[in-house]
Amino acid sequence: MIVTVYLTFVALGALCVGLEVASRRAPSPQAAPPAVANPAFCRFQRVFLRGYLLALWADWLQGPYLYKLYRHYSFLESQIAILYVCGLASCVLFAPVAGWLPQVLGRRRTCLIFCLSYSACCVTKLSRDYLVLVLGRVLGGLSTSLLTSAFEAWYVHRHADVHDFPKEWIPGTFSKAAAWNHALAVGAGLAANLCAEWLGLGPVAPFLLAVPALAACGWVVLTDWGREEELEGGEGPSLPRPSPPARPRFWRACLDGLRCLLSDRRVLLLGGVQALFESVLYIFVFLWTPVLDPHGPPLGIVFSCLMAASLAGSTLFRLATSAPYRLQPGHLLCLAVLLAFFSFFMLTFSTAPGQPRPRESLLAFLLLELACGLYFPAVSFLQGRVIPVERRAGVLAWFRLPLHLLACMGLLALHGEVSGTGGGEAGGGTRHMFAGCAGMMLAALLAVVSLFTLGRNDVDLRLEGTRGEGEI
């Protein structure tokens, strides 16, 4: 299994390079984010990316060995499932807080709170006390909510409201961040494997390695971002003093988002696809380690393989939507959901009690990550077309609610099966969960078909330059 994992990593690396070369040579019908030569903008962009990429690096370092750490502390699979549920539930609870804090405390201060809370989350991993680990999961949920909101809020505010740069330049910055994000994920798996296995420091080592990265991120936010604000006069005009209307604005946005969901069937179907697809990803994050770890692969390298497969899917999306092929995002969204369904279908057989097939399970996980690489840019494109910009935050909040609830229900169901059977990877709970995930993917596929049957002639769901060339 060890040799298989390393050969897989080499093959995926070669595939990613080949797809990247091909996608760069192929012209795209989409307007690419402009390469801006403005010195002031380039300096500002570097300042932002320096802090944001450090935060992403610290986040990815915690991915490969979380489950392994809890097993190292001799917790049962049912207890570990509860820990994961605590993390997901805290994401739901802290989502409104993450949107409210930047308005009250300031965007830069909220980013500093992220660094402190995530560092505390990592330090709790040193304890074997279950309640301390639960507290760590709650802090992790808060930190994840802040990572997905506070950093972007600081950048967009400084970009548009303070520097008055053209809004068309914003996607260029986040395209750079997305490109680096995949590379950081692959590198984080290698770094985590180096610390935990090659150096023999154990599964807690990657979490401790994340603390200096978070400290460096906090230093950049405190110094570089602070100097950036001093040059232009602080947090800017949209943040005067703390005021009570901040919270009502968030709930008003949620109500507007609910009206948008109920008034546009396209939005409702797209939200259903997102809730079904992404909820099973949370279950996958929990299950991949107990499925593969008993067979002795280096988990950090496996994690890098998974992230490289996701990178290959993302690059394949760019290549498939380029001028020579002109596939629509709707086509690729269907393909992503179909691949995910096939992956979970494979896993129901490769994890059968008494006759596990780890190589087939690894292949299924790689196909699922390839599907994720296709899914996220496709669903992002469609969200930009069917959800009004001013209502997007509220609509996405309603998408996340069923997403997290479905994931929590799935993990609690697995907890019940494991507790009832004494299973683990040898029991039937994992196999039944994969079968349930396959059923959810089948429902997502039906929602995708309904969406594009409804919008067969809807030009909003097409790439520019390919309208009128047949049905989606």
Q: What is the mean pLDDT of each run of 10 residues along the chain (472 residues)?
A: 90 91 70 62 89 94 93 89 88 77 83 94 94 94 87 86 81 85 93 92 94 94 79 47 43 69 79 84 88 90 95 91 80 92 92 83 94 91 76 69 75 60 50 87 90 72 53 38
Domain parsing of the chain, residue ranges = 39-170+198-231, 246-455
pLDDT in the model for residue 133: 94
Question: Based on the number of CB atoms within 10 Å of its own CB, is 135 exposed (0-12), middle (13-18) or buried (19 or more)?
Answer: middle
pLDDT in the model for residue 326: 79
Q: What is the CATH number of domain 39-170+198-231?
A: 1.20.1250.20
pLDDT in the model for residue 27: 63
Same fold, 39-170+198-231 and 246-455: yes
pLDDT in the model for residue 417: 55
pLDDT in the model for residue 55: 95
pLDDT in the model for residue 391: 67
Please give the CATH superfamily to which domain 246-455 belongs: MFS general substrate transporter like domains (1.20.1250.20)
pLDDT in the model for residue 467: 44
Predicted TM-score (pTM) of the model is 0.86
pLDDT in the model for residue 125: 94
Contacts of 346 by beta carbon, 8 Å cutoff, 6+ apart: 360, 361, 363, 364, 367
pLDDT in the model for residue 469: 41
pLDDT in the model for residue 69: 94
CB atoms inside a 10 Å sphere around CB 234 = 12
pLDDT in the model for residue 241: 35
**Distance separating alpha carbons of residues 378 and 332, to the nearest angstrom:** 7
pLDDT in the model for residue 159: 84
